[in-house]
């Protein structure tokens, strides 16, 4: 099943005030938008993320949106126009599309998963919380001296949140409507589709006013509140490993450096085992999956790709998590040729991709003493460990 997440960030947050869109407001050292996008970009059920931004931001998106699996489009005049633009940019193979407000930075991985599952079963689903207050239906629009028309049983009143998830055909049908609506679930209802309610979360607040930002900061201060998608703010380590067969007619590229050799590594990209192992290590440190998830060998975009570029893209994901690279240690296992004369060049090359000083990069060469395919000179392998640290 292929799942697309649409992040609705095309608004300008006029109710919030200020000189920049509210989704770019800093929340405890990180933009609200970055937090919201990360919840979906790192979710195991999400295959791609499409972010709808105001025109000027879409033309020059923030660095944390320039990562594999994330696409940026220009929004529209209304929320539903922004979602429609993103929907048109989504993969045509999407089975389910999830729509989420950029201004809800605390949605949990569990809520995302439950909403997707409900949409698969029922066609459309909306996260919502039951009202805790007695609900009064007014006789007319809010104005001085208006009166209660009736009291509505509060157990039947739910306050809608996002994420909202839809089977692709249901959302396509809903978006054909030209009527104004405050969310996509309302459009689906009007199109005649049943919308299933999924229990939302009290911490899944929408930041609309400066007062909401104060509440959000309080949630962040609470160790158990709204942080299930956020890694612990400590140093985090990850390990990586890669192996490729050696064949004639291919260059041997290690850490972006071409090593003189009569054989090179066979792979979909340039088969740089050092970069691949380090990429897995830094992704693993932040629980972001592995290189195959972000750069699958089934995707033609990564055919013969420069692995240093893939590594640099992975570094942007680490940066979006609020972390930086501390140091990296790599062991290359290769019977021949000897690499000792190329280690300094490899360290410098790897350091540039990681955005660190070469002093933080260690590379060692070992043989496998004639044991197995590596020892027979039929393959090259690399082991890596990376330490990341909170900025």
Q: Which CATH superfamily is domain 3-221 in?
A: Spore Coat Polysaccharide Biosynthesis Protein SpsA; Chain A (3.90.550.10)
Query: Could you report the per-residue pLDDT of 113-167, keeping only the tens digit for each?
Result: 999 999 999 999 999 999 988 999 888 776 666 788 899 998 899 999 999 999 9
Give the tokens for residue 376: 């027979």
pLDDT for position 228: 40
| C-beta of residue 201 within 8 angstroms of C-beta of residue 107 | yes
Q: Distance between CA atoms of 134 and 193, rounded to whole angstroms?
A: 29
Provide the 8-state DSSP code for 226.
S
- Assess whether pLDDT exceeds 90 at residue 12: no
Task: Give the Cβ contact number of residue 229 at 10 Å.
Answer: 21
pLDDT for residue 296:
84
Tokens representing residue 345 in the block: 């060049």
Give the least confident one: 21-30, 99-108, 382-391.
21-30
pLDDT digits (tens, 9 = 90+) for 279-324: 999 999 988 889 988 888 887 878 888 999 999 989 988 888 888 8
Assigned superfamily of 236-390 = 2-C-methyl-D-erythritol 2,4-cyclodiphosphate synthase (3.30.1330.50)
Bridge partners of 77?
A: none
Distances (CA, A) of 391 to 29, 62, 73, 320, 321: 9, 18, 29, 11, 10
Q: pTM higher than 0.85 for the full model?
A: no
Residues of the chain with CATH 3.30.1330.50: 236-390
pLDDT range class, residue 333, cuts 50, 70, 90? very high
Q: How big is the chain by its Cα radius of gyration, in Å?
A: 25
Backbone angles phi, psi at 224, to 5 degrees: -100, 0
Tell me how far apart the alpha carbons of residues 306 and 84 are, in angstroms, rounded to a whole number. 34
Terminal-residue alpha carbon distance, the chain? 36
CB atoms within 10 A of CB 88: 12
Q: What is the largest CA-CA distance in the chain?
A: 90
Structure tokens at 158: 């739910």
Sequence-distant (6+) residues with CB within 8 A of 347 are: 255, 358, 361, 362, 363
Numbered ranges of CATH 3.90.550.10 in the chain:
3-221
Give the separation between CA 318 and CA 324, rounded to whole angstroms: 7
């Amino acid at each position: 099943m292929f799942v697309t997440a649409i992040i609705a960030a095309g608004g300008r947050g006029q109710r919030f005030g200020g000189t920049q869109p509210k989704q770019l407001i800093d929340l405890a050292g990180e933009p609200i938008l970055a937090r919201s996008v990360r919840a979906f970009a790192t979710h195991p059920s999400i295959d791609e993320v499409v972010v709808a931004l105001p025109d000027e931001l879409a033309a020059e998106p923030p660095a944390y949106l320039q990562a594999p699996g994330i696409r940026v489009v220009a929004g529209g005049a209304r929320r539903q126009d922004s979602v429609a633009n993103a929907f048109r940019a989504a993969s045509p193979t999407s089975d389910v599309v999830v729509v989420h407000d950029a201004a809800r930075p605390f949605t949990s991985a569990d809520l995302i998963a439950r909403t997707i599952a409900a949409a698969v079963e029922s066609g459309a689903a909306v996260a919502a919380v039951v009202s805790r207050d007695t609900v009064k239906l007014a006789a007319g629009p809010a104005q001085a001296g208006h009166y209660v028309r009736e009291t509505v049983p509060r157990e039947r009143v739910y306050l809608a949140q996002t994420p909202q998830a839809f089977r692709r055909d249901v959302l396509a049908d809903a978006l054909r409507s030209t009527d104004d609506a405050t969310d996509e679930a309302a459009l689906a209802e009007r199109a005649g589709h049943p919308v299933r309610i999924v229990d939302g979360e009290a911490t899944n607040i929408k930041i609309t006013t400066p007062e909401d930002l104060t509440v959000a900061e309080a949630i962040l201060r609470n160790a158990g509140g709204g942080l299930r998608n956020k890694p612990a703010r400590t140093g985090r380590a990850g390990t990586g490993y890669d192996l490729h067969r050696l064949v004639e007619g291919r260059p041997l590229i290690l850490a972006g450096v071409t090593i003189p050799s009569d054989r090179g590594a066979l792979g979909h990209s340039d088969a740089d085992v050092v970069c691949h192992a380090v990429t897995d290590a830094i992704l693993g440190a932040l629980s972001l999956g592995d290189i195959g998830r972000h750069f699958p060998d089934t995707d033609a975009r990564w055919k013969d790709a420069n692995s240093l570029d893939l590594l640099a893209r992975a570094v942007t994901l680490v940066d979006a998590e609020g972390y930086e690279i501390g140091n990296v240690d790599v062991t290359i296992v290769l019977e021949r040729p000897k690499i000792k004369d190329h280690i300094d060049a490899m360290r410098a090359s790897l350091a540039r991709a990681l955005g660190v000083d070469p002093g933080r990069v260690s590379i060692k060469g070992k043989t496998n003493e004639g044991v197995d395919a590596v020892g027979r000179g039929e393959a090259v392998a690399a082991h890596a460990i990376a330490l990341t640290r909170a900025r």
